[in-house]
Amino acid sequence: MKFATKVIHAGIEPDPSTGAVMTPIFQTSTYAQNAPGDHKGYEYARSKNPTRTALEANLAALENGVDAICFGSGLAAQDAVVKLLKTGDEILAVNDLYGGTYRQLIRVWSQWGLKSRFIDMHDPANVDAAIGPDTRLIWIETPTNPMLNLVDIEAVCAIAKRHGIMVCVDNTFASPYLQNPLDLGADVVLHSATKYLGGHSDVVHGCLIVKDAELGKQLHFIQNASGAVPGPQDCFLVLRGIKTLHLRVQRACENAEKIAHFLASHPKVASVNWPGFSHHPGHAIAAKQMRMFGAMLSFDLKDNTFDSAKRVLSATHLFTLAESLGGVESLIGHPASMTHASIPREERMKVGLTDSLIRLSIGIEDADDLIEDLKKALG
Ligand SMILES: *Cc1c(COP(=O)(O)O)cnc(C)c1O
């Protein structure tokens, strides 16, 4: 089945009891049993819910996996992956990553004796050199947030495999329409479904997709044992969002290309980070592992102060100043004070995350209107 067909049909059957074409929201916490242990596969809704089951089957298909596990947020999904590890184990993560991921590793998991190191992965050889005796998990985000750096998933996975180390790829920025890490050798794919999968900025949700059934079972066990499950209404919203994923992401990428070129030619803009530019250092990798170049971009101002960034951030009308990304509407954000405020300034500066860096999540509005809005704000 091709992608555009999968988003509509994979894992989804008309409801057997009524014929309802759309997966019903099974708003129930428990299920009737005929006799003790004699039931229809559902006992208690933390363990299983039919709306969630349909979404998990759909997600598994979108990432070419065998199983998916859904959570109440992207960070709850991350939490479950880390729970596969033990005290003393080490995580090697890319050094330019989602602020909440960093915060969980440093502020929560370090207290449980899990070590995390953050390294530049633009050259896969750096990963090979950094692997130590306790390294058990490699954490990749690509393109990275907010610098839009690229990591060669296939090359890093090949190195990890030689050392018997698990790889998890946070695929939130790309979405399954643009990139499928399991095909490139990853063991686990993570999505904050809050972003492109949900796509309408109306739900917080996370998921994991795996290609090994046994690993899927372990993660379902953690999901049930720790309990950070999404409600059925939220699963319904993600299922509904996914039906237009390919159309939304395609249009957003087309818009992003036009906006990236507009910004690159603007006299007040110092640099634009967007992997579609042939001079972008990760361009060749992006072309190899992504279907299009994505709808996220960031740019820096020539006047590189927080104040000048603030003026632009407060002056747009169509671009809403807000955290998050991946919705139908365009958003503008200031990573240093918003999404990445939990990362110390000196760590931020090391990866080029300056006080004047502005991040855009491009939506599916008309590109000309979006460009006009930015033109006025920069003026
Ligand atoms: C938003 C986000 C997360 C966290 O997901 P939540 O649903 O907000 O918990 C993780 N990784 C990336 C890349 C994100 O953008």
Tens digits of residue pLDDT in 91-116 = 999 988 888 999 999 999 999 999 99
- The residue ranking higher by pLDDT, 344 or 161, is 161
Domain locations in the chain? 3-242, 245-378
Confidence of residue 144 (pLDDT cuts 50, 70, 90): very high
Q: How far is the CA of 120 from the centre of ligand 1 (A)?
A: 20
Tens digits of residue pLDDT in 192-243 = 999 999 999 999 999 999 999 999 999 999 999 999 999 999 999 999 999 9
pLDDT at 342 over 80: no
SS (H, E, C) 312-351: HHCCCCCCEECCCCCCCCCEEECCCCCCCCCCCHHHHHHC
Confidence of residue 40 (pLDDT cuts 50, 70, 90): very high
The pLDDT score that the predictor gives to residue 35 is 94
CA-to-CA separations, 317 to 35, 194, 267, 332, 376, in angstroms, rounded: 60, 23, 21, 10, 9
* 206 touches ligand 1 (CB under 6 Å): yes
For helices 367-378 and 245-264, the axis angle rounded to 10 degrees is 40
Whether the domain at 3-242 and the domain at 245-378 fall into the same CATH topology: no
pLDDT at 363 over 80: yes
pLDDT at 351 over 90: no
Of the residues 104, 149, 172, which should be mutated to test ligand 1's pocket, given the most ligand atoms within 8 Å of the CB? 172
Q: Is it true that domain 245-378 has CATH number 3.90.1150.10?
A: yes
Give percent of the chain above pLDDT 70.
Answer: 100
In the structure encoding, which two tokens stand for residue 251, read together? 């249009």
* 173 touches ligand 1 (CB under 6 Å): yes
User: What's the fold here for domain 3-242?
Assistant: Aspartate Aminotransferase; domain 2 (3.40.640)
Confidence of residue 340 (pLDDT cuts 50, 70, 90): confident
Confidence of residue 344 (pLDDT cuts 50, 70, 90): confident
What residue's CA is closest to ligand 1, atom 6?
A: 74
Q: How far is the CA of 99 from the centre of ligand 1 (A)?
A: 9
